[in-house]
C-alpha cells in the first residue's frame, strides 16, 4: 500500500492528514455469476479495493465511476467476452505431496523444507487452475504445510489461500499413521503427532495440532485405500475416542472432518458430532439421516475413486498388494455413493483428494459431480458457496459480494451448459491480484 501525504491549510496551521492510496481492480464481466445458485447477469463491473470486493455495478464502469481517486493504483480487466464466477474452493487436498512410485522412499528422504518447497510448486499449479482456496486435510510434515500457508498469506509464495489441519489424527497402525510397514527404528523417526490411542491421548493430539497452528482437525475414522495394511475399510477409533476428538476440537473453536469409508465408521463419526465426512463410500440411509441431523457436509472425492481404480487396473502401477485390493473395491463405488447422497438431500462440498490425483487437475471433479446427478449450477455451488460454508468462512468466501475476498475466475464458454469449461480456466484473481 502506497502512503500519500496530503496537506490542508486549516486555521492558519499546516495540518498533515495521511491518506492511503488504494489498489483498485475493476473487472468488466460480460456474464457474471456473482452468487452461485442465483442469477447470471450481463455487462457487470466488479470493483475490488485492497483485495476485497467493494461493489458489483451494472454496466462497464470507469475508474471515476468506481470511485477511484487519482492517487489510487487502478487496473481495469476486460473480461467482456468471458463468464466470471467466484474463485473455486477445493475442500480436500494434500498440497505438499503427490503420489508417485517413489513415495515410500521419499518419506525417509524428504525434509520438512523439501515438502514445503514441493508444496509451493503444487500450490502455484492449483491457483492457476482456478482454485483460490484449498483445505489441506493432512500433511506428512505439518511444519511444511503451516509454513506454506503462512508464506502464501504473506505474499512470499504464489498459491491459493490454505486452511490446514497439520497432522491427521489416527490410531496407531491406522490410516493416518504413516509408519505402516517400516522397521521399528524408522517408524520412531516418522512418528506423527496425530497418532493417538485412548480418549485422553486423542484429546491431547487434537490440542497439539491447534497449538501448532491447525485451522481444523482431520481424523481417520476408518481404514483407507492407500495405507499399507489389509485392515479392511472399517471403523478404527472407538466411540469414546471419537467423542473425545470431536469435543476437544469444538472446545478449541475448530471443525472436525473425518476420513471414512466403512458405514459403521461413517455413522459413528456422525453420531459423535463430526462436521463433515470425506469420501463416504459405504454410506447408507442411516448415514443420510445423521448427515442431515448434524448439518454435516459430505466431500465425496469421486476423482480419488476414479484415480485409484485406474491404478488398480494397471498391473504396472506402484500399488502394494493391500492397496491394490482396496482400490479395486472402493474406486468404482464412489460415483454411486455421491448419487445416493445427493438424491438423499445431503449437503455436498467439492473436494478432490488432489495429491492422490495430480494437483492442478482438481476441476475434473465437476464432471463427476454432474455424472452423479448434480446440475452444473449445483456442482459450482459445491465449490463456492457450499465450500465456504463447509470451511465456516461464508463471511469472506464463496461469492462475489461486498466485503468478501476479491477472488474470481473467468472462462470463455458457459460452465452452466458445459461444466468441463472449468477444466480450462482463462483468468484467475485472488485478493484482487490477477495471476
How many C-beta neighbours within 10 Å does residue 1 have? 9
d(CA 208, CA 227): 23
Choices 68-76, 193-201, 246-254, 348-356; region in contact with Zn ion by CB under 5 A: 348-356
CB of 224 to Zn ion, least distance (A): 8
Closest C-alpha among 273, 334, 347, 258 to residue 301: 334
CB of 254 to Zn ion, least distance (A): 18
Question: Which neighbouring-strand residues pair with 48?
Answer: 25, 53
Nearest residue (CB) to Zn ion, 77 versus 297? 297
Residue 133 · residue 95 · CB < 8 Å:
no
241 binds Zn ion (CB under 5 A): no
- Cell of residue 366, nine digits: 465437476
Choices 34-42, 230-238, 352-360, 420-428; region in contact with Zn ion by CB under 5 A: 352-360
Nearest residue (CB) to Zn ion, 224 versus 376? 224
Q: How many residues sit close enough to Zn ion to count as binding (CB under 5 A)?
A: 1
Contacts 24+ apart (CB under 8 A), 38-46: 40/83, 40/416, 43/80, 44/84, 46/84, 46/400, 46/406, 46/408
Nearest residue (CB) to Zn ion, 54 versus 353? 353
Among 54, 143, 353, 407, binds Zn ion (CB under 5 A): 353
Nearest residue (CB) to Zn ion, 33 versus 298? 298
CB of 205 to Zn ion, least distance (A): 18
Nearest residue (CB) to Zn ion, 215 versus 353? 353
d(CA 199, CA 208): 14
CB of 355 to Zn ion, least distance (A): 7
d(CA 426, CA 435): 10
Q: What does the DSSP assignment read for 251-316?
A: HTT--EEEEE-SHHHHHHHHHTT-SEEEE-TT--HHHHHHHHHHT-EEE--HHHHHHHHHHHH-TT
Residue nearest to Zn ion (CB): 353
Query: In the window 158-217, what residues touch Zn ion (CB under 5 A)?
Result: none
Choices 170-178, 319-327, 351-359, 368-376; region in contact with Zn ion by CB under 5 A: 351-359
Please give the residue ranges that form the binding site for Zn ion (CB under 5 A): 353
Amino acid at each position: 500500500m502506497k502512503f500519500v501525504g496530503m496537506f490542508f491549510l486549516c486555521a492558519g496551521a499546516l495540518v498533515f492528514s495521511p491518506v492511503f492510496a488504494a489498489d483498485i481492480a475493476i473487472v468488466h464481466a460480460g456474464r457474471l455469476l456473482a452468487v452461485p445458485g442465483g442469477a447470471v447477469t450481463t455487462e457487470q463491473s466488479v470493483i475490488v479495493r485492497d483485495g476485497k470486493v467493494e461493489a458489483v455495478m451494472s454496466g462497464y464502469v470507469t475508474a471515476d465511476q468506481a470511485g477511484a481517486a487519482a492517487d489510487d493504483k487502478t487496473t481495469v480487466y476486460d473480461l467482456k467476452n468471458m463468464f466470471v464466477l467466484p474463485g473455486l474452493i477445493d475442500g480436500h487436498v494434500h498440497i505438499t505431496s503427490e503420489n508417485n512410485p517413489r513415495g515410500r522412499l521419499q518419506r525417509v528422504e524428504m525434509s520438512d523444507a523439501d515438502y514445503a518447497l514441493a508444496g509451493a510448486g503444487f500450490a502455484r499449479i492449483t491457483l492457476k487452475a482456478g482454485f483460490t482456496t484449498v483445505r489441506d486435510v493432512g500433511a506428512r510434515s505439518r511444519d511444511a504445510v503451516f509454513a506454506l500457508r503462512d508464506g502464501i498469506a504473506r505474499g512470499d509464495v504464489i498459491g491459493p489461500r490454505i486452511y490446514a489441519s497439520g497432522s491427521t489424527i489416527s490410531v496407531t497402525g491406522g490410516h493416518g499413521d504413516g509408519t505402516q510397514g517400516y522397521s521399528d527404528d524408522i517408524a520412531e523417526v516418522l512418528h506423527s503427532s496425530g497418532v493417538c490411542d485412548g480418549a485422553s491421548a486423542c484429546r491431547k493430539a487434537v490440542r497439539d495440532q491447534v497449538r501448532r497452528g491447525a485451522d481444523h482437525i482431520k481424523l481417520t475414522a476408518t481404514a483407507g485405500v492407500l495405507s499399507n495394511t489389509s485392515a479392511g475399510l472399517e471403523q478404527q477409533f472407538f466411540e469414546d475416542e471419537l467423542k473425545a476428538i470431536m469435543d476437544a476440537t469444538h472446545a478449541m473453536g475448530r471443525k472436525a472432518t473425518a476420513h471414512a469409508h466403512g458405514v459403521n465408521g461413517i455413522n459413528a463419526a456422525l453420531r459423535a458430532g463430526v462436521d463433515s465426512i470425506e469420501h463416504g463410500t459405504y454410506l447408507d440411509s442411516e448415514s443420510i439421516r445423521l448427515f442431515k441431523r448434524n448439518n454435516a457436509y459430505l466431500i465425496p472425492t469421486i476423482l480419488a475413486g476414479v484415480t485409484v481404480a485406474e491404478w488398480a487396473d494397471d498391473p504396472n502401477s506402484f500399488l502394494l498388494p493391500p492397496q491394490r485390493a482396496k482400490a479395486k473395491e472402493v474406486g468404482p463405488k464412489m460415483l454411486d455413493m455421491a448419487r445416493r447422497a445427493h438424491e438423499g438431500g445431503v449437503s455436498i462440498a467439492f473436494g478432490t483428494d488432489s495429491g492422490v490425483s495430480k494437483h492442478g487437475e482438481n476441476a475434473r471433479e465437476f464432471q463427476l459431480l454432474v455424472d452423479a446427478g448434480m446440475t452444473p449450477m449445483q456442482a459450482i455451488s459445491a465449490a463456492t458457496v457450499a465450500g465456504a460454508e463447509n470451511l465456516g468462512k461464508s463471511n469472506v468466501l464463496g461469492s462475489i459480494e461486498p466485503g468478501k475476498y476479491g477472488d474470481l475466475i473467468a472462462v470463455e464458454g458457459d460452465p452452466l451448459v458445459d461444466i468441463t469449461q472449468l477444466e480450462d480456466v482463462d483468468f484467475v484473481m485472488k485478493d484482487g491480484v490477477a495471476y
